Amino acid sequence: MNNPGSGKSTDLFNSLGFQWNREAIPQNAPVHDVNRACFRLQKMLAQYVWDAVVLEGNPFTYPQVKTILDGITVGGHRLSDQDQVRNLAASTKELLRLVKTGSFKLDKDTFTALHAMVAREEALEWGHFRGEGGEQHYTPHVGLGEAGDYIPPETQPNASDLNRIFSDGLAQLEQLPDPLERGMAFFLFGALQQFFFDGNKRTSRMMMNGVLMSNGMDAISIPAARAQEFNEKMVDFYVTRNAAAMMDFLVQCHPDAQLMKSAEASDQKTAAMSTGDVASRIRSAGN
């Protein structure tokens, strides 16, 4: 389990803008070969893209997403919804290429390059932080329903504050030794700070999965069936700045969640038995 120094965790939380229980992050996520992790995502590409578009409220069904990925158009839908499917497929393939070739990096260049593909023709601008393009003043709000709006750091010319926030946050994230914790934290960091006008969660999940796969861990996809739960927990995250529930949710969505849970239960049982043995020896010595 994690046993981070309180000072280091405070710096981490302050830089990212939120906190979580670091000791609750599993330390036993199975590690595979990088190519194996990439192969798994490639095989489930249609499922991964469909899960992602459902989170965006896109009406395409899973069979329709498969049809689009096969290069065949589907009638009866807005072109913007179809473009979103294609953008997610193209950006996921690019992510796989970066990981397979060892070119993936947790940095701004990779982040903005993936965003240029994820949000093409959908966001107000794409491929750079808010304030680095033509629009230098408009600050988007994140609607939270009954909880009102979440207002991220304001858009400024040249994205001066956003670049500082990103640089400081990245410096702290790079000190996290566990890829699972580092990847999940980056996703929530990007979702909270809203570095782009749109497509923040989608692009930040891409970066999370880039971290995981680059370290031989399987990618995380949020199942379409759990979209409402995801949205509810994200609202709570925006309101409270506490990521504990979202971290746990992401772990539950990991393909190896059951293995991690079983291994943790086994470790706890072994620890309990060891504690019992020590107590028994102490009692015997006392007699």
CA distances from 90 to 23, 49, 82, 125, 233 (A): 36, 10, 12, 18, 28
* Mean pLDDT, rounded, of the chain: 92
Q: Answer yes or no: are the C-beta atoms of 127 and 113 closer than 8 Å.
A: yes
pLDDT tens string 269-283:
555 556 566 555 656
Question: By percentage, how much of the chain surpasses pLDDT 90?
Answer: 85
Rounded mean pLDDT of 246-251? 98
As a whole number, mean pLDDT of residues 2-26 equals 86
Could you tell me if 193 and 169 are in contact, meaning their C-beta atoms sit under 8 angstroms apart?
yes
Neighbours of 188 (CB within 10 A): 24
* Residue 162 host element (H or E): helix 160-173
**Which pLDDT score, from 0 to 100, does residue 277 have?**
67
Please check whether residue 110 is in contact with residue 98, taking contact to mean a CB–CB distance below 8 angstroms. yes
* pLDDT per residue as tens digits for the range 87-143: 999 999 999 999 999 999 999 999 999 999 999 999 999 999 999 999 999 999 999
What does the CA dihedral 19, 236, 128, 171 come to, rounded to 10 degrees?
Answer: 10
For 14-25, write each residue's pLDDT tens digit: 999 999 999 999
* pLDDT > 80? residue 52: yes
CA-based nearest residue to 85, from 98, 71, 96: 71
Burial 140-163 (b: 16+ CB within 10 A, else e): bebeeeeeeebebbebbeebebbb
**What value does the mean pLDDT take over residues 206-226?**
98
* The predicted structure's pLDDT at residue 2: 45
Integer angstrom CA distances of residue 137 from 142, 156, 159, 161, 170 = 16, 6, 10, 13, 25
Question: SS3 for 242?
Answer: strand
Percentage of the chain beyond pLDDT 70 is 89
Mean pLDDT of the 135-156 span:
96
Q: How far apart are alpha carbons 62 and 49 in whole angstroms? A: 9
Residue 217 Cα to chain centre, angstroms: 13
Looking at residues 159-164, what average pLDDT do you find?
98
Kindly report, residue by residue over 54-102, the tens digit of the pLDDT.
Answer: 999 999 999 999 999 999 989 899 999 999 999 999 999 999 999 999 9
Q: What is the largest CA-CA distance in the chain?
A: 83
All residues at 6 or more sequence positions from 166 whose CB lies less than 8 Å from its CB, including other chains: 108, 129, 193, 195
What is the predicted pLDDT for the residue at 3?
46
Strand partners, 242: 19
CA angle (126 as vertex; 98, 190 as ends), nearest 5: 70
pTM value is 0.90
Residue labelled with tokens 């750079």: 128
Whether pLDDT at 210 is above 70: yes
**Cα–chain center distance at 266:** 28
Burial class (CB in 10 A: 0-12, 13-18, 19+), 221: buried
